[in-house]
Amino acid sequence: MRLQHCLGLALAVAASVPLAARADDTIKIGFPIPLSGPTAVYGEPILKGAQMAVQEINAAGGVLGKKLELLPRDSKANADEAVRLARELIIKDSVDFLAGTLTSAEAPAVSTVAKENKIVFVAPTAKLTQLTLPPQLHPYVFRVSSNTAVEGQAGASLMAKFTDVKTVATIAPDYAYGRDSAADFITALKKLRPDITIVDQEWPKLGEADFTPFINAQMGKKPDAVYCSLFAGDFVTFTKEATPLGYFKAINNRLLDPAEVGTIDEAQALGDQYPYGIIADAYDPVVWGGANEPAEHKTFVKDLQTFMKSQYGSGWAIVGYEAIEALSQGIKKAGSTKSDDVAKAMVGMTFDTPVGKRTFNADHETLSPEYWGTMVKEAAYPFAIIKDPQLLPAPTTN
C-alpha cells in the first residue's frame, strides 16, 4: 500500500510537469469586449483583429519564445461586467496582461482594476480623454485609439468649412464619451468659427431604443448642421427612425459623426438605409481608392478577409490588431513578461501598424488620427464607403 501510494505521488508529480512547462511557455492576455447587444457590431471585429494578430505572432515564433494566448470574454458593454471579468481573468485565469473593452464606461473601470493589480492594460477603442489624464493616469494603462480631443479637433475643422452654416446642434450618448465628445468639438469649433451658435444638445442614453423624442426636439430648433456622436447599434436605430421624419433632409445631410460610423461594419449594418452624404470617420476605411494606400494595409486587408472568411473584412479589426501588436512589442522591448518592466518599456515606444507607425507619448497616448470623408454609394460596393478618405488631424510626432 505504501509503495502504491509513493508511486501514485510520483506519477502525479510527473504528470504536472508538462502542464507547468506549457504554462511557462504561454503569455495570457485577457480580452473583455462586447460580443452581444447593439455594440457587438464593433466588438466582434475588434476581437477578430486581436485574434489575427495573435495567430500571426505565434506563427512567427511568439514573443520571447512564448506563445500568446488570448482569453476573450463578453463584457456586454457594461462597466460592472467588464470589471468582474477583468478580476476573474486576473485571479482565476492568471492572465499576464489585459487588453480590450469598447466603451468609455468600461475602459476606466477596467483601468482601475489594472492599477490595483499592477498589470498592463491596453485600451483599443475608448476615447474618454480622462482615461489618461491625472489622476486617472497610472503606469499600467495605454491607449492605441484616438480620444475625444483629437476627434473634436478633426470634426470642428470639417464643420468650419461649411461657410453657410451658422447654427449647429449636437446629439450624443449620455455618458462619459458622449459628453466629452460634444464638449471637445464645441471647444475646437469656437476657436475656428466663433460666429457659429450651438442651438441644441440632445442626450439619449446609451442603448436607447426610441430616438424619436430627441429627433423631434432637435428638428424643432432647426439647426443648419449636426455633430452626432452616436455609434454602433445606436446609430443604426437612430438613422432608421430619423430618415422617415426628414431629419437628414432638413439639414441637407450636413451631419458629422466622429464615432466610426464610416466603417464598412456600420455601412453593411444599414445597407441602403445609410444616410448618404454625411461625413464620417474610421480607423481603417478598408476601401481606399487612389494611390495613398500603404502596401502594408493592402496586405493586412487581404489577410483579414481570409482570416474572417469575409469578402470585405472590417474597419474595426485594426484597433484590436494594433492593441496586440503594441503589447507584444512592449514585451519584446522589455525582454520580460513582468508588467512593471513592460509598462516602462512602452512609454515612448514606437510600433508598426498597417496604416503607419504609432508612438506612445508620456501620457500613454498615441493620439491616433482617423480617416474622414463623405459617405457615398458606388456601384462596386453594396454599402456606403468613404470617398477619398483623409487622415485628420494631420499626424504629428508625439
Can you spell out the DSSP letters for 155-182?
A: HHHHHTT-TT--EEEEE--SSHHHHHHH
Q: Is this structure's pTM higher than 0.85?
A: yes
Least confident segment among 11-25, 30-44, 94-108, 359-373: 11-25
Contact 201, 223 (CB under 8 A): no
The pLDDT assigned to 364 comes to 98
CATH superfamily, domain at 2-146+302-359: Response regulator (3.40.50.2300)
Q: Where are the chain's structural domains? A: 2-146+302-359, 149-282+371-392
Q: C-alpha grid cell for residue 364?
A: 500613454
Common-topology check for domains 2-146+302-359 and 149-282+371-392: yes
The third-level CATH classification (topology) of the domain covering 149-282+371-392 is Rossmann fold (3.40.50)
Where is 30: in which H helix or E strand? strand 26-33
The pLDDT assigned to 376 comes to 97
Rounded CA-CA distance 113/322 in Å is 22
* 40 pLDDT higher than 50: yes
Q: What are phi and psi of 313, to 5 degrees?
A: 85, -135
The pLDDT assigned to 395 comes to 65
pLDDT digits (tens, 9 = 90+) for 274-301: 999 999 999 999 998 766 788 999 999 9
Instruction: For residue 312, give the DSSP letter.
Output: S
pLDDT digits (tens, 9 = 90+) for 117-126: 999 999 999 9
Name which of 391, 74, 396 is nearest 262 in CA terms. 391
* 13 pLDDT higher than 70: no
Give the 3-state secondary structure of residue 150: helix
pLDDT digits (tens, 9 = 90+) for 375-389: 999 999 999 999 999
pLDDT digits (tens, 9 = 90+) for 47-58: 999 999 999 999
**Residue 394 binned pLDDT confidence (cut-offs 50, 70, 90):** confident
Percent of the chain with pLDDT strictly greater than 70: 93
Give the mean model confidence (pLDDT) for residues 155-180: 97
* 18 pLDDT higher than 60: no
* 21 pLDDT higher than 50: no
* 14 pLDDT higher than 70: no
* 225 pLDDT higher than 80: yes
Rounded CA-CA distance 282/277 in Å is 16
Rounded CA-CA distance 96/93 in Å is 9
**Residue 153 binned pLDDT confidence (cut-offs 50, 70, 90):** very high
**Residue 231 binned pLDDT confidence (cut-offs 50, 70, 90):** very high
* 162 pLDDT higher than 60: yes
The residues pairing with 29 across neighbouring beta strands, listed in sequence order, are 70, 97
* 323 pLDDT higher than 80: yes
The pLDDT assigned to 168 comes to 98
Give the mean model confidence (pLDDT) for residues 259-279: 97
- Strands 26-33 and 121-123: what pairing? unpaired
Rounded CA-CA distance 162/165 in Å is 5
The pLDDT assigned to 23 comes to 53
In the chain, helix, strand, coil percent, each to 5? 45, 20, 35
The pLDDT assigned to 291 comes to 65
Contact 204, 168 (CB under 8 A): no
Name which of 259, 267, 294 is nearest 395 in CA terms. 294
Rounded CA-CA distance 294/304 in Å is 15
